[in-house]
Chains A and B, each alone.
Chain A
Amino acid sequence: MPETPGAIHLDDGDVVLLVGTTKGAFLFRSDREREEWTAEGPHFPGSEVYALALDQREGRRTLWAAPGNPFFGVTLRKSDDGGGDWSAEEERPVRFPEGSDMSVNRIWQIRPGPASRPDRLYLGVEPSCLFVSDDGGDSWQPVRGFLEHEHRESWTPGAGGMCMHTIVQDPGDENRLVVAISTGGVYRTENGGRSWRARNSGVRAEFLPDKHPEFGQCVHKVVSHPDRPGRLFLQNHWGLYRSDDWGDEWVDIANGVPSDFGFGMAMHPHDPDTVYIVPLESDQFRCTPEAKLRVYRTRDAGESWHPLSEGLPQEEAFETVLRDALDTDSADPAGVYFGTRSGHVYGSADEGESWTLIRDGLPPVVCVKAAVIGAA
């Protein structure tokens, strides 16, 4: 086994990059210039880490990680010292209730709750369900309205399992949440999770006989900006969409992309019209089109998309960027980061105009989360 990795410093103004791979987590740190990066890892060597998060509410510096493996299940761990010490592996509080006939196979998303609820956190898990904690992560309960949803028996697993991978909180209403599952689609609650309605009108399901069902779409990612509540962007299993009414209606925004198939999607931290994606050729060939590694950016809410490739390989680049492996930091200018299944991590410190290779040789990257310390 590799040596036990150390902590990363979490000083105000630093930029951190949390990278989850199929064989452990790697924690990167840089100053605001984001030119030189130091790394610690692998944390949890040998374990897949599909979900990482940094909770900075109320001055916290809490790292969360969900290491697991297909044999022995998943755990949820936290660290308050930058990964120097993680909570005990024995603690295993995320469990479906007895009699539900379900067990937690993987944690796909860790999301701190609204600012108005500083001790609330959410998890999205496989099989698809939302878990909530109101005591800072010490105990967790499945959200009953979702656990017992009448559509549950009709949801089916995609290639990555039947996962809840997206949790979007309305910054102005703690009772409104949007979640996305694959496959299943987008669901919204207006009452804190007691009931959920499918919100997929306009989103295609290319793989079903009925291309526009009420639910059953294979949504890959949904993002939103806190300054523009109600607007959502969606990367589908074939399809790019925008909604301006919390998902009541979706419009196609695949304007100028080489393919509307892809996984990752990231919101610009300061501009609610700017979104990043990495298109892939097709569901049959999940690699970057034309063997060119290009990030696409829209600055007009999807009216047009433009490639960003300076510094990225443009030949023989058969790369895949997965649904949680693309993110932005909150610096100005914004940093944009992504990891690939071939173990490369790239970053841009100028909003995507130019890119540098931060690290290669990692195991397949499944999660990238970026943050500026002190900018909760």
Chain B
Amino acid sequence: MQKGLQRFGALVRKEITQLLRDRRSLAFMLSLPLIQLFLFSYAVNSTVYHIPTAVVDQSNDRKSREYLQAMVNSQYFDMTVQFQNQNQVIAAIDRGDVKAGIVIPPDFATDTDRGTGNVLILLDGSDSASVSSGFGAAGLIAQMYSLQLTTQEIIRKGQGAGGGSLSVGASALPITAATRVLYNPDMINVWFILPGIVGLILQNLAVQQAALIVVKDREMGTIEQILITPTRPLELVLSKMIPLLVLSMLAMGVTLLIGIVWFSVPFQGSLFLYFWMALLFVVGSLALGLLISTRAKTQRQAQQMALLPMIFGLLLGGLIYPRSSMPFVPQFIGNLFPLTYFIRISRSIFVKGVGLEFVWSDALILGIYSLVVVILAARAFKPRLD
């Protein structure tokens, strides 16, 4: 036992020395997560504002200007150019100068008074984010504007009839829905993104780095030297994981710190619990990387294989696209990657501020997952000894 520990200590020391010697790689390893953090936090936005829009106002009166003003005030549309007819708008969208167009027909005002006003909204169907934002916004703005006109009308009529059934000033609608967004009442984007990003960054770092470890020794020929020592596979695997584990946790700490200080995302739950969950997750990711490493023959191969968990994690883990709207098979595949569980845990602790009683099932799965993959990695390493 004593000897085993000694052996293990020596191995860990070797790995740490190797890691620290290559300064440039180390710098990369530590700066990459930060770059990713800033990129994601500033670039990822599920709602798109300020869609460049071309306007054709053939009506050009008070009503049409009012309506256009409502569109601009919504922040969704920026009127960047004026045209005379619909074809010019389509040409501009073809060229990619604008992403949307609003066409108001000449008889807009009179039609609106009759209750049959029509506007045409054209959207660039080659750009999905602009379309999904613009589509919803355009419909909603028209509805709100109509509602406003109708309310005015009802109130005017009511007054004319000497006080109708509706009290003046109250909403014209029989049902009002009070909406409250829990945990993130102002729907601030970084609050949504950050807990997931922590997971993605940790995964990318851990899987990638671990994937190269064993295969690097093999490609460089140094594996033979390790094999003639009395080291056991599990010891070797663990010793390679420990320095990376420390590094990954360090990267996580910095990411969290920047998120909380720079982006001022409030951390609602228990940091202590979060730390242990992250540790569990990193172990699982590292083990996954190691498993890849034992399977790969060259670093290039390992690199390609490590891409898979990254792609699957990004798309199926629930970071960007919600898992609830995925069909069964992709949902199932998503379950094979530790990121899926950690994103849920991370959001629960970070944003919702709930405790272990809510995340224990995901934590348990993550724990079992890590254990199984570590053992698999150690076993996969064995046959390669000869």
A binds B: no
What is the interface of chain A, defined by CB distance below 8 A to chain B?
none
What is the interface of chain B, defined by CB distance below 8 A to chain A?
none
